[in-house]
Amino acid sequence: MYCEQFFRDGTVDWSEDKRLVFPSLAHWHGLRTFKTQIARRFGVSSPEFVLLANRSAQLVRLAARLMFRKCRNVLTTDLNWPSWQNIVCDEAVRCGQRLTNSQITPLVFSDQASADDVNERLAQAFTENGCDGVFLPAVTNLGVRLDTSSLLAKLKANGGLRFAMIDSAQSFCHIASPAPLPFADFTIAGCHKWLRGSLPLGLGICGRSIVAEQFRDMLASTPSLFGIDDPLLRFSEQIEHQAVDRYSETVNVTPLFSGNAAIVATDSGEAIVAKQACKRTANAELIRKSVPTRLWQPVETDTSMNSGIVLLQSKSHNIVRSEPNVVRSKFLEKRVAISAYKGGLVRLSAPESIDCQMIESLQDALVSVA
């Protein structure tokens, strides 16, 4: 209740004595500065284009409602993150609009099509189904990197694209361009994945000033009208615009500080991220070559769609039949963190540096779990 100025302006005006008492807050210079740093990473011109929330899902729902105000038929894919895809599907039904779900999984994994081939399929689906919006991932949860920039540029040039929403949860601080500027109307990401901000903090990036204005108009409406309310989203907007509700609910603000600390500590300039991405891609190839292929089969894609994420398919019937959480636990017992999916599919994210001992530990884990 009594910390509005601190949240708004940070420690800039603190005395030296006070900074010594709270040294861990030395880099907190207020909400606007934090948003400015995020805006710079996404290549947008103003911190006003940035929204912060406790839950990314709430940003997805708000963005979907805005998208379906403008669009009658939105193109998605079967490689979209299922939870967010379900939200967009719900909003399409609620608004009486349509989704066109392009099945590109066989094209990517079985045919090992290039990024250009996939874009051709998506552009064809967009035109043939009369779509006027898209909801696509920049990098899928399975590590497939889509060339969304080229696709959106083509759709925009043809005049049929009215709104583009991009899932950048797996691309922010992972690949050099986290959003396909200048064609994305709204981008969703978070601080706890590749930025390593520890605590979940949802990021919403508006691609244009009119989109930012429309979002804030929605937020200014009664929460019950939209069935959506994110405490941190409302609190951060109120703090920045000096209109704090005296009777608002208690808000978990700690993700602001962990996210800010991570972005201050991480040089996420485009050249740096591109260099790191090249290292991950090279290390991912090293991991693929070291996999015991009698037990695991690397799932290959065309090099134009690689992202430094490795997929492995188990050849063990026991693993194929096991629940994903059981498989993940077995790897954790061997001190290897993976994401597990049904059917014996696992995902590993290649680190920026790797050595022989790490490779040997991974090989041991793969053999032991299988």
pLDDT tens sequence across 178-217: 777 778 999 999 998 888 888 999 999 999 999 999 988 8
**Average pLDDT value for the chain:** 90
Across the range 36-53, mean pLDDT stands at 92
- pLDDT bucket at 127, cuts 50 / 70 / 90: very high
Across the range 275-290, mean pLDDT stands at 87
pLDDT confidence of residue 226: 56
Run of H or E residues at 309 = strand 309-314
Q: Are strands 202-206 and 186-190 parallel, antiparallel or unpaired?
A: antiparallel
pLDDT at 63 over 60: yes
Across the range 150-163, mean pLDDT stands at 93
Across the range 24-52, mean pLDDT stands at 91
pLDDT confidence of residue 110: 93
pLDDT confidence of residue 16: 86
pLDDT confidence of residue 222: 57
Give the torsion through C-alpha atoms of 297, 302, 307, 309, to 10 deg.
Answer: -10
Give the C-alpha separation, 115 to 135, whole Å.
17
| Domains parsed from the chain with CATH numbers | 4-265 (3.40.640.10), 270-369 (3.90.1150.10)
- In angstroms, the Cα distances linking 364 to 291, 341, 367, 369, 370 are 10, 21, 5, 9, 10
**Global model pTM greater than 0.75:** yes
List the one residue out of 76, 144, 156, 81 whose CA is nearest residue 115: 144
- In angstroms, the Cα distances linking 93 to 4, 249, 284, 317 are 40, 31, 40, 39
- Core vs surface per residue 297-315: b (16+ CB within 10 A) or e: eebebbeebbbbbbbbbbe
pLDDT confidence of residue 177: 76
The count of other CB atoms within 10 Å of the CB of residue 331 is 20
Please say whether the beta carbons of 131 and 155 come within 8 A.
no
- pLDDT bucket at 325, cuts 50 / 70 / 90: very high
- In angstroms, the Cα distances linking 363 to 131, 292, 294 are 46, 7, 12
Across the range 120-144, mean pLDDT stands at 96
pLDDT confidence of residue 261: 92
User: Which of the two residues, 178 and 343, has the higher pLDDT score?
Assistant: 343
List the one residue out of 31, 11, 2 whose CA is nearest residue 263: 31
Please say whether the beta carbons of 182 and 148 come within 8 A.
no
